[in-house]
Amino acid sequence: MKSTHMRHNRNAGELITATAVAILSLKTNELRVIELKGVQGMSNTEIAAVLHREVTTVKFYTQNIKTKLGVRTLTQAAYLLGKFRGQQAANDDYQFEA
């Protein structure tokens, strides 16, 4: 996996990891592929049917995901996505005092 370097986001005033930036760059169908293959274990053929796409398109999405996130498997991508979503939920629960 890629290292998670930090950068400062001046608009939000928070630190964002390179992994978070990569996850935020994923397209809707790429996120669906992670869920369907990385979490549910569906085959490319099954995913193609669910997304109403060709199998070659699913393979293209898979390669894009691996490249963007710097992972070797969609299971690793699913882990990163779950970790990111968990962190986002924790941040949403945090209340700032005025």
| Lookup: tokens for 81 | 């996505």
| Lookup: tokens for 89 | 């939920």
pLDDT above 90 (res 19): no
State the burial class of residue 95 (Cβ atoms within 10 Å of its Cβ: 0-12, 13-18, 19+).
Answer: exposed
Which CATH number is associated with domain 6-88?
A: 1.10.10.10
Rg (CA), the chain: 15
Q: Where are the domains of the chain?
A: 6-88
pLDDT above 90 (res 92): no
Using a pLDDT cut of 70, give the percent of the chain over it: 72
* pLDDT the model gives residue 87: 74
State the burial class of residue 72 (Cβ atoms within 10 Å of its Cβ: 0-12, 13-18, 19+).
Answer: exposed
Most distant CA pair in the chain: distance in Å? 52
* pLDDT the model gives residue 6: 41
